[in-house]
Amino acid sequence: MAIEGADIVKAAAFIGAGLAMGFGAIGPGVGEGFAAGKACEAIGKKPEEAGLLTRTMLVGQAVSESTGIYSLVIALLLLFVV
């Protein structure tokens, strides 16, 4: 096997991209699901406020998704820039 410096850097970048996106997806996934579950509970309590609650849920999810997007950006940077 001919392993050179540049090859090792590339290999590290690829596996790092996989790790970054893989582990980065855990937190936002659980968090967004938690937010949506709480929104469902709130709608069960007050169905007439459903529109407002759905919007609030979406805003909250969008904010908690930002760490997932950071991971995506890092992964793409590792794949295409390094």
Partner 1 sequence: MDELTEIPQMTLEFFGINLVFNTQTILMTWVVMAALIGFGFLATKKIGFLPNPFQVVGELLVTVFQGLTLDALGEDLAKKYFPLICGLFMFLLLSNWLGIIPELSEPTKDLNTPLGLGIMGFCIAHYSGIKAKGFKAYVKGYTEPIIFLAPLNVIGEISKVISISFRLFGNIMGGAIIILVVSHLVYSLILPPALNLFFGLFVGTIQAFVFTMLTLVYISVQVN
Partner 2 sequence: MFTDVATIIKLASFGGAGICIGLGAIGAAVGEGYTAGMANLSISHKPERSGDIMKNMLVGQAVAESAGIFALVIAIVLIFMDASSTNLLTAAALFGAGICMGFGAIGSGIGSGYPGGEACLGLSRQPSVSNRLMTNMLIGSAVCQTPAIFSMVVSLMLIFKNIGDLPLAPTWAALLGAGISTGVAAIGSGMGGGMTAGASCESIARNPETLGRVTTTMLVGQAVSQTPSIFGLLVSFILMFKTFPESSTLSAAMALLGAGICMGFGGIGPGIGNGMTAQGAVKWVSRNIEAAGELMRTMLVGQAVSQSTAIYAMVISLVLVFVV
Q: Are the C-beta atoms of 22 and 68 separated by less than 8 Å? A: no
Among partner 2, partner 1, none, what does residue 81 contact (CB within 5–8 Å per kind)? none
CB of 63 to partner 2, least distance (A): 12
Q: Are the C-beta atoms of 66 and 74 separated by less than 8 Å? A: no
Distances 4 to 8, 9, 64, 70 between C-alpha atoms, Å: 6, 9, 40, 30
Q: How many residues lie near partner 1 (CB under 8 A)?
A: 13
Minimal CA–CA distance to 32: which of 8, 80, 66?
Answer: 66
Among partner 1, partner 2, none, what does residue 34 contact (CB within 5–8 Å per kind)? partner 2
Site for partner 1 in 21-60 (CB under 8 A): 50-51, 54-55, 58-59
List of residues contacting partner 1 (CB under 8 A)? 50-51, 54-55, 58-59, 62, 65-66, 69-70, 72-73
